[in-house]
Homo-oligomer: A and B are copies of this chain.
Amino acid sequence: MTKDKRVTSYDVAREAGVSQSAVSRVFRPGLSVSKKTREKVMTTANKMGYRPNAIARMLITKQSGMVAVIVSSRANVNYPEVLSQVSKQLAARNKRVLLFTLDNAEGGDELFEQIWTFQVDGVIALAAHFDHNSLDKFKEHKIPVVLYNRNVPDALANTVCCNHELGIKQLVNELKLNQPKNYLVISGPEDSDVATERREIALKQLEKHGEQQVSVLYGDYSYQSGRDCLAQWLKSNPAPDAIICSNDIMAVGVIDEAREHHNIDVPNDMSVVGFDGVSSSSWFNYQITTIKQPLEQLTKAAVDMLLEHIENPDSPPETRVITGTLIEGNSVKRP
């Protein structure tokens, strides 16, 4: 396999009859250059197959222009929407998303090596679990990290988070209006930080209302796991009056299972709440009472915070908590 000698900015400058610095300016974002020069350089560069040497630029500026976005394969179903928003926000700030998938909560070493190799300017961890040890590694490599939707309070990490505490409080208050006699919590996976946080807040809130020892079942955030949890529960228990699900998609599964196989009417026989506010939660058959995450604000905050820490590596860690919106659907029984 042979490849031609790479065309340099000097070759383009010679051919176009301009200085090399003019060529260089054309290909550096944010630098001014006359329209005429720009056109001349672009035409010549295209003709010659010139690729501006971003790589040399990286070596000088020490910025690659890339941000690693790490997604867990165990992510909640709404992560693609988040990824799409993050990508837009970063593009607007002239940064690009380099995508990494973390396949399990344990072995991330290979992933880390990859991240160092690509010399990304920073990292946004979308749905990945990082322990203190992992966070320390980024610190050693001087790569700023923002954790999206998770709280690692004593890890001194940058975090952007939906207000889970307030949101779940509001959902429990909605359920309380009709004074349910018994509750069930259907949680996301045990190794998911977000699921853990939502579950623990729910149990704490219920305890405050005098509900001790509420049962917990574990799904994997998927529709089918919502169905399976309810089916399993009903094998040896009556239908609960109220179910708190860690996300909307499991709530959809619960509602379908109740209606299709158990002749349970939602909301009249059983109330169900979700979390996230994904689009299907508002579909006619579900209209789930949920907390809509402020995706745009959350992703903008994450990107702002990351860029701040790329520019000022010594900035102290920061936590931003943004309040979601209670959506009063039709999945909770009214008094």
* Residues on A facing B (Cβ under 8 Å): 1, 3, 6, 27, 46, 49, 51-52, 54-55, 58-59, 62, 65-66, 69, 71, 80-81, 83-84, 87-88, 91, 96-101, 113-114, 116-119, 137, 140-142, 223, 252, 256, 259-260, 279-280, 283-285, 311-313
Contact = CB atoms under 8 A, between A and B. Distances in A.
B65 A88 contact: no
A140 B97 CA distance: 25
B52 A312 contact: no
A118 B51 CA distance: 9
Given A80-B80, A140-B46, A3 B118 contact: no
Q: How many copies does the complex hold?
A: 2
A295 to B, nearest CB: 14
23 contacts: A1-B311, A6-B62, A27-B117, A49-B140, A49-B141, A49-B142, A51-B116, A51-B141, A54-B118, A55-B119, A66-B98, A71-B84, A84-B101, A87-B101, A91-B100, A96-B98, A96-B99, A96-B100, A97-B98, A98-B99, A256-B283, A259-B284, A285-B285
Kindly list the 8 A-B residue pairs having the minimum CB-CB distance in the complex, ordered from nearest.
Answer: A80-B80, A256-B284, A97-B99, A285-B285, A54-B117, A51-B116, A260-B284, A55-B55
A3 B285 CA distance: 57
B116 A223 contact: no
B285 A256 contact: yes
Contacts of A113: 27
A62 B49 CA distance: 14
